[in-house]
Chains A and B, each alone.
Chain A
Amino acid sequence: MGYNPDKPMDGRISDLGPPHYEQFFPPVIKANKGKWLWHEITQPGVLMHKSETGDEVYSIRCGTARLVSIEYIREVCDIADEFCDGYLRFTTRNNVEFMVDSKEKVQPLLDNLASRGNKFPVGGTGAGVTNIVHTQGWVHCHTPATDASGVVKAVMDELFDYFTSMTLPAQVRIALACCLNMCGAVHASDIAILGVHRKPPMIDHTRITGVCELPLAIASCPLGAVKPAKATVDGKEIKTVQVNVDRCMFCGNCYTMCPAMPLADPEGDGIAILVGGKVSNRISHPKFSKLVIPFLPNTTPRWPETVAAVKKILEAYAADANKYERLGDWAERIGWEKFFEKCDIPFTDKSIDDYRLAYDTWRTTTQFKYTSHIK
């Protein structure tokens, strides 16, 4: 018995939802849920949680590529079967965690992970750089302005020592989105890598009638740059759209709605860097990330300009910020003019907001610091 295409609704099961989480708890988690008293990071990548029952659980966190094969998942299962009674979990930043219920079981597991080459790097805890939350890129999406997996690999190779150590003032969250739909966490990360376009969409008049609902394409534009228009195709007048190029800021949302408006371009597309966002409420409120580098090229396969920019910002922050200060807290304390100076980033008009509530971001005070920008 299996799926019968002639009777598709026969025997169909639906609305099951996810499996109940409790069946996947390691025994020590099941026994101590809700009873945890405190935790400690015993070394980079290893957490210990202490329960009021006296029980302990050690969690060993490893980086993953997120885009992984079934062979990789099976290898994860082999490890969990050998060391963790057949249980494991993944984190909200796509690291994998193996849990054991005593200190003695930690080192053998670490040794085994180390024996597997670079597949299971241990780290991602405390004041370091953990995994990069990222998106589909050229592996699966149709609207990206850059790749995801490749850029992430290039950046993490360069920042690898920060993954396996805890030397920063606070944790640094890096995120990547390959277009400004920002699937993920780019708008609220310490350092954000964002795919951007710089050319307006082309309009495929020969196909638009068949594939687009024109009012949807028109309504999709945040700046009202898409207007109804007429064009002649094969001697016949058709309804289509036109883009007011002066109003277009290349967001690509019209293409999301209308396949006849592609805008990807090898020279036009690339990466913008935003910094200073956070989601936690610790000391300061959650913050949006802010655009500090408007464009870096898509230099495949290792994006050296992007890697260098991220590293430079990270190191300027590491050298200057106070303990517990997130990157955004630091930039706001020293002032953005100092941020640009200390990170050695040229300031351009592209970092000045000109969208709707832009005025709130201009400097309506005489308080500023003299930096190299004032000649």
Chain B
Amino acid sequence: MAKHETPLLDQLETGPWPSFVTDLKRQAATKPECWDILGILELSYKDRITHWKHGGIVGVFGYGGGIVGRYADMPKQFPGVEHFHTIRVAQPSSKYYSTANLRQLMDLWEKHGSGMTNFHGSTGDIILLGTRTENLEPFFWDLTHDMGQDLGGSGSNLRTPANCIGHSRCEWSCYDTEEACYHLTQHYQDEIHRPAFPYKFKFKFSGCPNDCVAAIARSDVSVIGTWRDEIRIDQAAVKEYVAGNYPPNGGSHSGKDWGKFDIQKEVIDLCPTDCMWMEGGELKIDDTECTRCMHCINVMPRALRPGADQGASICVGAKAPILDGAQFSTLIVPFMKVEKENEFEELIEFIESIWDWWMEVGKNRERVGETMQRVGLPTFLKVMGIEPIPQHVKEPRSNPYVFWKEEEVEGGFERDVEEFRRKHAA
């Protein structure tokens, strides 16, 4: 029996897209607190404002994050959501699951929580949506003891890292994103669970510049796969594309008639650096001019492959608008080997030199991207011990407001105006 009337939400049960309202109602049959989720949401639809109180600090002993506390502002009317805390559970790399694992987690959540989830949060965690304070420790006990699984991150710390599907099901991945993500997550458990930073910090790992996990837009350290030798060309397969035997772009435009595949128009003329041409029926690439944008490879996956000398570009500083405006990550290391063999040593060293510096100079709630803006890229490179190179900029500066250090200028800054006056009377 419906506990609350939901005339507005009921209208979201129609239409072809899966309805979260229908799903909530189904769950309410065994989890009556779901009626109160629907009830309070219906009230928000009527009032057109949120009905969650500000903030809420809850957690489990030993950790400083992982759980977002939340309380309804009308607990009497909706007792099922009086406490409605969200638990972030660490997800496996690439979000592969066995049904055994998922079923066990769902049983735990049926026992301790509301029965609702998010698969997944945008940072990557499994989000278990809604439970009471007194259930947190028992849930955590069962999660760690019965499932050997842990919480994710929240607060001013390292958040849960995430990765694109990488080697496990993509021919373009230039390093093992899953292993990098897993290894670094394990390596930095302390930084994830116990906030010690000026603000939050995120890692994301994409296998190539298509950036399927949006690392360049959504992580403070963005590790994006790339290569430094030649694109591997299978000329026989190029001919198949030209002959129209293979669908361009893996068939991703097959729903509309775009005409016969035209390699000149669809590949060569769209290359951003104009570094490709046809010669005697063969596709040629001047790889020294290629910026590895992925376009030609995306169009002809059966003929072109990333080079074999693979690694990653490391970019730093992406963030959402608050406070100083949105930022993408800035290229800092053009090419780095990212390998399990040396336990990601170089990447770890890089990350720790950022942290050593940022933990000291970063202001309260200042993302590393903002700290970089405040001190300037030249200073950031200096503290990282990195030589400035043209690849660090889109273009050189146009204003002439250049800082020089005293030691860089002959004779230094100490001068005597009397001496100046001897040559240049006032």
Contacts and interface: CB of A to CB of B under 8 A. Distances in A.
A286 B328 contact: yes
Interface residues of A, number: 131
Contacts of B230: none
Question: Is the interface on chain B under 10, 10 to 19, 20 to 34, or 35 or more residues?
Answer: 35 or more
* Most chain B CB neighbours (cut-off 10 Å) among A44, A47, A81, A166: A166
Interface stretch (B47-55, B350-358, B382-390, B407-415): B47-55
B115 interface: yes
Contacts of B140: 3
Interface of A: 2-3, 5, 8-9, 11-21, 23-26, 29, 33-34, 36-42, 44, 47, 49, 57, 59, 63-74, 76-77, 80-81, 86-92, 94, 96, 118-121, 125-128, 133, 135, 138-144, 147, 149-150, 153-154, 156-157, 160, 163, 165-168, 171, 180-185, 187-188, 211, 216, 219-220, 222, 251, 253, 255-256, 259, 262, 264-266, 269, 279-284, 286, 288, 298, 300-302, 323-324, 355-357
B254 A126 contact: yes
A286 B217 contact: yes
A126 B253 contact: yes
Nearest to B146: A2
B100 interface: yes
A14 B62 contact: yes
Interface string B103-124: 1001001100001111110100
14 contacts: A18-B185, A57-B169, A63-B18, A89-B96, A89-B165, A90-B95, A127-B249, A138-B45, A139-B41, A219-B365, A266-B47, A301-B8, A302-B11, A324-B249
A291 B272 CA distance: 26
Contacts of A67: 20, 23, 116-118, 129
Nearest to A69: B27
Given A39-B301, A70-B110, A72-B23, A135 B322 contact: no
* Most chain A CB neighbours (cut-off 10 Å) among B15, B144, B217: B217
B253 A149 contact: no
Contacts, number: 396
Given A18-B150, A23-B98, 16 more contacts: A26-B96, A38-B301, A38-B302, A41-B254, A49-B171, A66-B119, A67-B117, A69-B115, A69-B117, A73-B102, A80-B99, A119-B18, A128-B255, A166-B255, A188-B217, A222-B324
B164 A92 contact: yes
Contacts of A15: 150, 189-190, 193
B84 interface: yes
Given A2-B138, A38-B301, A149-B20, A282 B294 contact: yes
Given A24-B96, A41-B254, A222 B210 contact: no
Contacts of A262: 54
A45 B301 CA distance: 18
Contact of A2 (B141, B324, B365): B141
B251 A180 contact: no
A144 B50 contact: yes
Interface string B164-189: 11011111010010100010011001
A253 B86 contact: no
Q: Which 3 A-B pairs have the closest CB atoms?
A: A126-B252, A157-B15, A259-B54
Contacts of B333: none
* Most chain B CB neighbours (cut-off 10 Å) among A41, A64, A279: A279
Contacts of A141: 50, 52
Contacts of A18: 90-93, 149-150, 182, 185
Given A36-B170, A324-B295, A21 B47 contact: no
A25 B12 contact: no
B102 A77 contact: yes
Contacts of A356: 324-325
Contacts of A139: 37, 41, 129
B23 A44 contact: no
B9 interface: yes
A320 to B, nearest CB: 14
Contact of A40 (B52, B84, B213, B251): B251
Contacts of B235: none
B106 to A, nearest CB: 4
B33 to A, nearest CB: 12
Contacts of A128: 255
Contacts of A29: 96, 168-169
Contacts of B256: 127, 166-168
A324 B238 CA distance: 19
A355 B323 CA distance: 12
Contact of A25 (B46, B96, B271): B96
A63 B92 contact: no
B405 interface: no
A323 B266 contact: yes
Nearest to B18: A65
B284 interface: no
A21 B45 CA distance: 40
* Most chain A CB neighbours (cut-off 10 Å) among B11, B70, B168: B168
